Structure formats: C-alpha cells, structure tokens
Structure 1
Amino acid sequence: MFKQFGFLCVSIVAIAGCNPVSSVDTPVNTASTAQQESYPAMAVPLQPNALAENNIAELTQLLSGDKVKAADRAQIYLDRGRSYDSMGLRDLARMDYFKSLEINPRQADVYNLLGMYYTQIGKFDTAYQAFDSTIELDPSNLSAVFNRAVAQYYGKRPDLALEDMRTYYESNPSDPFSALWLYIIESELDKNAALTRLKSTYENKTDQWEWKLVGIILNEVSEEDVSNYIVNSTANNTVMAQKFTEAYFYLGKNYMANGDIKRALCVYKLALSLNVFNFSEHSYALLELDRISDKFKSASKNGKQDKFVYR
C-alpha cells in the first residue's frame, strides 16, 4: 500500500491507494485503520534489470572488438541503446542510437525512437524531424504517425496532432490507446464532439483491459473497479506495474480535464514511482508534471496563484 504524499494528496485517490493526510495529533481511528489495511497490495516499483545490465556488458565487449562488421556494429549499438532505454538511461540510449545511424542512416525505427526521446525532453521541433524521417523511410510506419501526433499535442499544434491521430485511429479503431489519445487531443478543440466519438467507439469495445480506462472517462467504470481488476488479474509484478503506470497516467489526464489538479499530481507521481521506463506513459507523466509546474510558476509570477487553472 502506498504511503502518504503530503499536502498534494489531500484526499483518497481510489485507484492509487493514496492514504488521506492526517495530523499527528489526531487520535487513531481503528475502523479507518482496518479499512486501509484491507486495501489490496499494489505493484512494487521495478528495480534495475540484471538481465539488461548483463546484456549491456556483453554488447559493450562486442563493440570493443575490431573484427565486427559495420552492419553488425549498427545493430549492436541499437540493441545496447534499447537496453539503456529500458533502464531509464535515455541520454546513453540516444548516444547509441546516433552511433547506429552513423553506420546505417536508413533505419526508420531508430528515428522513431529518437523522436520519442525528444518528445520526452520537450524538444518538439527535433522530434517532428525524427518522426518525419521515419515516415519518409517507411510510409507504412503508423507507430511514428501516432508518436508524432502525441509530440504535436505536447508541442501545442492541436490541429496537426488531430490529423495524425485520426489517421492512426482509422487504421485501428479497436485499439483503446488510439481512442484515448484521439479523445484527449480532440477534446481540446471540441470536447462535445470528442465525447460523442468516444462513446460511439466504446460501444464496440473489445476484451482488451485498457478499455476500462476509457470507461472511467465515460463514467462507465469506477476507479476502484480498475484497481481491483489489475490486482486480481495480474500475478506478475512487472506486468502489474506496467498496467498501473498506464492507469495512473490516463487517470491523471481525466483528473486534469475535470480541473482536479491535486489528484492529477498524485497519480502522475505514482506513474513515475513504478519505474516502468520503457512505457511512454512514464515519460508523458513527467511531461505533464513539467507543464503543471510551468503553469504554476507563470501564475505565481503574475500573482494569480489562487486562480491557477490548467489548460
């Protein structure tokens, strides 16, 4: 069960299991304590992956040899970069991706990875260029179209973001993530139209568990139901951490849309706390926190802290 998160989590977030903040002088409520102890155990934050560490060591040793063919060396740099990425060592990963491209510049997937990296650190123009390179080399690469849409959303290009996300959505309307992101992007331009589209899509949902996250937005599924589903259907801690990372992020987006900044801050931090570095929701949660921080600083500078509203 998660610990207290100070003044930011002033009330319980059902899916996160955040404890309510209480004063040290407040008498212990045994009924409340019993209720808290009944919460299901949550995922344990992922720890450094020994397999990835060994893989990095082996690949580094291979790169030290002088008889490795150029094509193999490009692949080794790519593989080591992916291992760095899985451990959250993004700058080291970026350096290896560039080294791989120096040897073989016609790798669409590597540009896609770089585009995601630049999105995560807020360098959106460079991210667009990387995704454009992916699509130029591989016009069928819809992953780059999706990622470019997200980059344009965070880069405040909503019209272009919507165009890309519609392209991705139309290629796979049964994908819950395309439905979620189409709603997130479209709602900034026309919330009623976005909600109508999401309801229509939800009626044809598949058995993928992520549709429950869509159900939260539509008030068809409760946060507690999602939390219980993840815990009760997932025995593997790694998979549980991955699912909660996704749930925390999209729950945070829903809180933000409803103006509940305190709870959004709480669940975004929870998304980061599980250390699922190779899931984009982990990095996007950090982007969201940065956006909130920038807005708050701007409001504070203008003396409008009490009227701070996120948009």
Structure 2
Amino acid sequence: MRFLLIPLLGLSLMGCQSTQQQVTQSVLPIPFTEPLQANPRTQIEIARYSELLNSPELTRSQRAELYHIRGKLYDSLGQSQLAQIDFNRALKLQPDMAEVYNFLGIHHTLRQEYGEAYERFDSVLELDDSYDYAYLNRGIALYYGSRPELAVDDFKRFLANAPDDAYRVMWLYIGEHAVDPEAAKVSLQKNSTALSDEVWSTQLVKLYLNEISEAKFLAQVSTGVKSQKEYAERLCEAYFYIAKRYKAQGNNLKAAEFFRLTLATNVFEFVEHKYARLELRLIREEQLAKANS
C-alpha cells in the first residue's frame, strides 16, 4: 500500500476509540488517532498542590518538593513556561535536586541554549552519577548542539545500562549516523541482536535496517494496543523515527510532515514529542539559510 502524507494545517483528525477493532481503522492511509486530551486528574492535582503551596507552615524542603511535583505536572500538559518557573523555584529552595536539573536541561536544549543545557546535565551527574536519563538527555543536547562525537559517548553509556532497549539503540544510531553513516549501520545491526521480537519497539530498529518496509511498519503499529492513550504514544514514537529517517535521507518535506504528526498526538511527556518541535525549527532555519544564500 502506498502511504500519502496530508498536511496537518487545518486538518481535523478523526481517531480511534479504545477497542482494538476501532484502533486499526483509519480514514487516511496513514494510521493516526485523535490527539490526547489533558487528563482532568492532572489538572485537579495541580490545583491541589497550588493550594498546599499557600500554606505558611511548609519547610523549605517541602515547598521545594511541591514546586518540583507541580512543575512535572505542568510539563506533562505541555505547559513548559509554567513548568520552568516551578523548577527554578524548587532549586532556589533546595539546590541539590538532580531531577529538577534534568528537566531544566531538557528545556534549555529545546530552546537551543546548549551551553546552559550541558551545565544542567553536568549538575545532575555531579549530584547522582547513576541518574541514567541524564546521559540520554545530555547526549541529545550534544547531538543538537553539533557535537555528535561527544553525544555518542553518552548514548553508549546510556545503552550499556539496558542493551535490550530498542530506544537506546535508536538514539545511539542517530548519534553515530551524524558521525559516520556507514559505521552507524554496522553498529545498529550489531546492537539489534540484543533486542526481542516480542517487544514492539524492536520494529523501529528493523525499519532502520530495511528489514521491513515503511508500509509494513505502519500497518503493525496498532498490534497489541489496548487503549487510545497507548496507541497515541506508540504513534508519537513511530512518526518521530520515520521523520528522522526521512531527514537523514535529505527529504525534509516528508520529514516535516511526520514531525507535525508527532506533535499532533499531544504526548507531551515523550522525548520524541519534545524534540519534534525543535526538528521543525531546524528545518525552517535550514530552508531560510538556503533562501538567503
């Protein structure tokens, strides 16, 4: 089957419900679902923590932790500015919160403030060198900051802690591809041997190794999905890595469409959703640079 891309601007997405039968149905030849809606429970929790923060009886440590928690809730809803305000408040009260530095590092990366991002991730690892995801997030910052060789070091460290995780394999490949595409493909093939076919994410690696076609990959995205939320999360990942594949091939038009599809899922917490917006910005900057040259 040929999959045609339809621009998202002005497109009203019609999605599946939570049943397996409805999940697999799609009006468009690309699988999609309606964007995730804000969880009312999360909004209620934000209101509750806001009330608690008004209490004058809180210790500095307690207030810092509440800002930390509320910041994460804001972040999960895509409200990055409010999240950053709370994270900064938390650090002013308690400057040894590793996870808060990690979140702030991600926010700096998304704004292309790479120097500040490196400092935040370094702070995480100074406080807790076992904080696994700091290596991923610092690696991503180094990758987007045009320092792929250093990024690869962090991605290797991240993969070493869970060599059977396909997402870790994918990020190492993305970093290595920026250094040496041919060597990256060899490394990807080698790392794929530790992955299980029983896990859906392994299909991402098979797509990159050309062991399955894009059509077949997309056709099985809904396999085993039990809810709309799970389906949206899986599509968020699928769209992003398809987009990165097209971008690596020099096809920015298709890449941009899939990055937009990634954003349309509203899976704000996922790293793929966060960096899809940055990828679109980089594509626009590249187009402007070519137009002005």
TM over 0.5: yes
8 A Cα contact 2:163 2:191, kept in partner: yes
Map 1:1-311 onto structure 2 (within 5 A).
14=3, 18-19=5-6, 37=27, 42-206=32-196, 207-302=198-293
The alpha-carbon deviation at position 37 of structure 1 amounts to 4.8
Count of aligned pairs between the two proteins = 275
The alpha-carbon deviation at position 146 of structure 1 amounts to 1.2
8 A Cα contact 2:164 2:195, kept in partner: yes
After superposition, the CA RMSD in angstroms is 2.0
The alpha-carbon deviation at position 253 of structure 1 amounts to 0.6
8 A Cα contact 2:26 2:32, kept in partner: no
Q: Which moved more, 1:184-193 or 1:131-140?
A: 184-193
Aligned letter for 1:18? L
Aligned letter for 2:167? F
1:25 matched residue in structure 2: none
The alpha-carbon deviation at position 232 of structure 1 amounts to 3.5
> Separation in 2 of the partners of 1:258 and 1:233?
31
8 A Cα contact 1:271 1:282, kept in partner: yes
Identity %: 35
Q: Which runs of 4+ in 1 moved over 4 A?
A: 35-41
SS in 2 for 1:18: coil
CA gap 1:202/1:100 in 2 versus in 1, 3 angstroms: same
CA gap 1:37/1:255 in 2 versus in 1, 3 angstroms: same
Aligned letter for 2:186? T
The alpha-carbon deviation at position 274 of structure 1 amounts to 1.0
8 A Cα contact 1:40 1:231, kept in partner: no
The alpha-carbon deviation at position 172 of structure 1 amounts to 2.0
> Separation in 2 of the partners of 1:121 and 1:299?
22
> Separation in 1 of the partners of 2:38 and 2:169?
33
8 A Cα contact 2:163 2:194, kept in partner: no
Gaps of 5+ in 2: 8-24
> Separation in 2 of the partners of 1:154 and 1:266?
20
The alpha-carbon deviation at position 96 of structure 1 amounts to 0.4
1:244-265 superposed Cα distances (whole Å, 9 cap, x missing partner): 0111111101111112221111
> Separation in 1 of the partners of 2:66 and 2:143?
33
Q: Which moved more, 1:66-75 or 1:96-105?
A: 66-75
2:21 matched residue in structure 1: none
> Separation in 2 of the partners of 1:225 and 1:240?
17
8 A Cα contact 1:13 1:263, kept in partner: no
> Separation in 2 of the partners of 1:41 and 1:194?
29
Q: Which moved more, 1:193-202 or 1:220-229?
A: 220-229
> Separation in 2 of the partners of 1:219 and 1:156?
27
8 A Cα contact 2:31 2:219, kept in partner: no
The alpha-carbon deviation at position 167 of structure 1 amounts to 1.7
TM-score (norm. length: structure 1):
0.84
